[in-house]
Structure 1
Amino acid sequence: MKKTALFGLVLLTTLHTHAQDTDSVAIRKMYNEALANGKSYEWLRYLTKQIGPRLSGSAGAQKAVDWTKQVMEQEGFDRVFLQEVMVPHWVRGAKEEAYIQNGKQKITVPIAALGGSVATPPKGVQAQVIEVKSLAELEQLGTDKVKGKIVFYNRPMDPTKLNTFEAYGGAVDQRANGATFAAKYGAVGAIVRSMTTAHDDNPHTGGMRYGTGVPLIPTAAISTNGADQLSSLLKQNPQLTFFFKQNCETLPDAKSYNVVGEIKGSERPDEIIVVGGHLDSWDLSEGAHDDGSGCMQSIEVLRIMKALGYKPKRTIRAVMFMNEENGLRGGIGYADYAKKNNEKHLAAIESDNGGFTPRGFGIVGTPQQKSRVQDWKSLLAPYGLHEIGPGGGGADIGPLAQQGTALFGFKPDSQRYFDYHHTGIDKFEAVNKRELELGAASMAALAYLLDKYGLPEATAVK
């Protein structure tokens, strides 16, 4: 019995080692293909330079839909289709104007209307300013001190956070909810410090929302340099005024699409693994890091597999989601589509953190699923993918969690992302070709392992 048990152990160890060697070779080939023959960078060049800004409902967004569908058809994917979604249609209008009136001194500062904001009156808004660092601080001040003024939210992202997404999460409530709180206490407008640790003159737009039962007041982001200047001058002269004018409006919802391409599974075609990013971008920029990079990487995953002649067991599907920036209609609509068609999504991988150097994947799933992925660390570590563990999946794939899908968020290095996020400088030139290609290969490697080994079942939320 002892000899039989020992033989069995040796056999299992040998088989495991052989499987690891096979996987190591397969993953290496994927990286070689991405780095030597990758198309993601040139695709990104076209998306950003020939199409440009792609806010949902815009002509640019529709051009991006048509072009990405064409790209996937030209690559010969087994199936390419559009999934219709109705999306918000907000337009910025003429460029914003803003200045600080400090006595006789007029100081121009850069601002950008927040997505979803209403316009100011045609002649703009000018009022005294009340500076706060939090929503709670504003509530303590109350109506007597806020009414008739412009609320200036000036809590910076925490520069001591090593993960800049944590810093972003700790500050973004001002942008999302600041207008509602300010209006509740009678403010006539709100100005929010840009969500970045950089000190520059680039205002960062982004989505905001209005609560019910309060007036809709105009809201804009101010650059970090502008915020610092305004704060400094307020300390010297609390009676100064701030003027801003913006011309945005919300039009009726528009028809748009998620763009979907897939390679059909050879053994379990009804089990789907998604790789995706969001095709829309804010109107100020080319949307290179946010999220042209993620979209092109996702298409590249399927291209790599086809180029290597890899025939997946399960269906591998690339999804270009529409309307992540100001509504998430694409992600919600895709999950509804999957549920309606009784599709089984084993896993979903989203790239929406920029095209920087790969660091790993965040996992949202059961302990058993996380444990399975941890077993693959030795295969992924040689490529710098050390950060594999609990984390966020991604906004667009998030709704799939209700159906028992394991979620994976691609994690590149986070240090530079918020220098570009939601700004006019998020351009093609800000993306490094090799970093982008390494990210695509990293996603392909994870998709390969998920396809080959699967995951323990999770229970869908009813």
Structure 2
Amino acid sequence: MKNLITLLLLLPTLSFSQHEEMIKKIYDETLTDGHVYENLRVLCKDIGNRLSGSPEAAAAVEYTRQLMESYGFDTVYLQPVMVPHWVRGKKEVVRAINSEKHGTFEMNALALGNSVGTGSDGILAEVIEVSGIDEVNELGKKVEGKIVFYNGEMDPTIINTFGAYGGAVIQRSSGASEAAKFGAKAIIIRSVTNRQDDIPHTGSLRYKPLINQIPAVAISTNDADKLSQVLKEQKLKVYIETHCKQLPDVLSYNVIGELRGSEFPDEIIAVGGHLDSWDVGEGAHDDGAGCMQAIEAVRLFKALGITPKRTLRAVMWMNEENGLRGGREYARVAKEKNEKHIAALESDSGGFQPLGFSMSGTDEQKDQVKKWRDYFTPYRVWDFTQNGGGADIGPLSPQGTLLIGLRPSTQRYFIYHHTPADVFEVVDQRELELGAASMGAMMYLLDQEGLK
């Protein structure tokens, strides 16, 4: 009896020691023989940017399918989803006309995703500067016939740059319709970034129903400052020419690789990122990094001979950038099949040094995961305090799924976000591998311990 009591008291310690040992193996395997960096190189350099509906997006579907098959996942399959097909067309022209001090000058610009184009005739109109949507509503009909220039900045005093981004991005997502309802002809926005440079940032806008759709472009922060200064000195006209358009939806796919659970196969743990990217750059941080980290997290189970208790899925969601069709379709099918996702883990904040995990779920679910923090602190992954999961896994929330987001350092992300600068070379191998190992370790604990 005494020996039994002693054993029961030791069980939590033994369990911690076993998990601690396996998590070290997960990190060691990734840092010494990981595949995530090379897999990202192939995705970025051999395929490139992957906007939904493009040939490159189709190539990425096939590449990730074959990659997961090569790792011997139990099942690899494609989940059909209809996605938008927006094309940028010829290079944008945004030109200030005959300013008194600077003459005519070009600005570095990108059309916003889903924007209508101006066509070859372009648009020439007087520019009016505003600091945000509230100011447009105050001006009302005074913006009629004009180009509205949204020059609201990301707040540099907010340390978590995603918070600063959230405060400024509404100009991009809703600015066109808000200006159009008062008769504006087009909008220009300051690129949503906390960096001063000459690189414009694209990103998706959303047109509101029954409001005229007007062209929308982003200019670099340096050009935004220059334009603002000129407007303080004089009235100014700007010429905008874009050739983007929305084509009919096309068939694409979510790519899913699965290891079947040995004890609780009906309990599913999904891990993933979004396979699509914008049509500029290579989509390295956004979100090639997350996709390759997710595949690596599941590969680690195979490499280390871990037999999962629960079913593990690596999911490459399609069309997060300008529609979220993949995430919504995945959740719809899961509900239709009555699948039980106990947890879903997403990496969509770049391949930077991991600092922790955010969560969205019940207090009981979150408290259980927070108890695992000590497993991660030796790897400098310590912050389990943030709320939130991820865009692609968000549609699973109504099904009671615990949503978990990998949270790396945020300070450099918006240098590259939605730009031509988001290329493989700006991803650090060790930081990328540490993120993949952290995801693998979290999957391991979720698999071994389950959720109450």
In 2, the alpha carbon distance for the partners of 1:90 and 1:363 equals 33
Residue identity matched to 2:41: R
Residues in 2 aligned to 1:335 and 1:344: alpha-carbon distance in whole angstroms: 11
What SS class does the counterpart of residue 70 from structure 1 fall into? helix
Deviations 1:4-27 (A, max 9, x none): 8x995x654421111111110000
Q: Match for residue 200 of structure 2?
A: 203
**Secondary structure of residue in 1 paired with 2:385:** strand
- Counterpart CA distance in 2 for 1:390 and 1:44 is 28
1:37-436 to structure 2, matched below 5 A, reads 37-103=33-99, 105-143=103-141, 145-237=142-234, 239-436=235-432
Looking at structure 2, the residues matched to 320 and 384 of structure 1 have their Cα atoms a distance apart, in angstroms, of: 27
Matched, 1:451 2:447: yes
Deviations 1:42-96 (A, max 9, x none): 0000000000010000000000001100000011100000000000000000010
Paired with 2:44 and 2:125, the residues of 1 have a C-alpha distance of: 39
Post-superposition Cα deviations, 1:202-243, rounded to whole Å, max 9, x if no partner, equal: 110000011122211100111111101000110011x11111
| 1:323-371 deviation per Cα after TM superposition (whole angstroms, max 9, x unaligned) | 0000000000000111111111010000000000000000101111111
Deviation (angstroms), 1:98: 1.1
- Secondary structure of the corresponding residue to residue 84 of structure 1: strand
Counterpart Cα distance in 1 of 2:431 and 2:150: 35
Distance 1:294 1:76 in 2: 20
SS in structure 2 at match of 1:284: coil
Could you say which residue in structure 2 is the equivalent of 1:460? none
CA distance in 1, matches of 2:334, 2:212: 38
CA contact (8 A) 2:349 2:413 kept: yes
Q: Are residues 90 and 17 of structure 1, via their aligned partners in 2, closer, same or farther at CA, if it must alter by over 3 Å?
A: same
Alignment partner, residue 25 of structure 1: 21
Deviation per residue, 1:161-201 (Å, 9 max, x gap): 11000000011110000000110111100001101000011
Unaligned runs of 5+ in 1: 457-462
* Stretch of structure 1 that moved more, 75-84 or 127-136: 127-136
Displacement of 1:265 after TM fit? Answer: 0.5
Counterpart-to-counterpart distance in 1, 2:367 and 2:402: 12
AA partner of residue 37 (structure 1): D
Deviates more, 1:206-215 or 1:65-74: 206-215
Preserved contact between residue 90 and residue 242 of structure 2 (Cα < 8 Å)? yes
Give the gaps of 5 or more residues in structure 2: none
Structure 1 vs Structure 2 CA RMSD: 1.3
Is residue 370–residue 389 contact of structure 1 (8 Å, CA) maintained in 2?
Answer: no
Question: What SS is found at the alignment partner of 1:206?
Answer: coil
* 1:338 aligned counterpart, secondary structure: helix
CA distance in 2, matches of 1:453, 1:210: 45
Q: Is the 8 A contact 2:188 2:219 kept in 1?
A: yes
Check whether the contact 2:127–2:148 (CA below 8 A) recurs between aligned residues. Answer: yes
CA contact (8 A) 2:99 2:230 kept: no
Amino acid paired to 2:233: Q
1:102 Cα deviation (Å)? Answer: 3.7
CA distance in 1, matches of 2:98, 2:231: 9
Give the Cα separation in 2 of the matches to 1:80 and 1:245.
Answer: 44
% same residue: 56
State the AA in 2 paired with 1:154.
N
How far apart in 1 are the matches of 2:332 and 2:210? 30
CA contact (8 A) 1:92 1:249 kept: yes
Once residues 123 and 87 of structure 1 are traced to their aligned partners in structure 2, the CA distance between those partners, rounded to angstroms, is 30
Q: Is the 8 A contact 1:362 1:393 kept in 2?
A: yes
TM-score normalized with structure 2 length: 0.98
Deviating beyond 6 angstroms after TM superposition, the runs of 4 or more aligned structure 1 residues are none
Contact 1:128/1:242 (CA < 8 Å) preserved in 2?
Answer: yes
Matched positions, count: 450
How far apart, CA to CA, are the structure 2 residues paired with 1:366 and 1:78? Answer: 31
In the alignment, the residues of structure 1 paired with residue 386 and residue 425 of structure 2 have an alpha-carbon distance, to the nearest angstrom, of 32
Distance 2:213 2:335 in 1: 36
3-state secondary structure, aligned to 1:170: helix
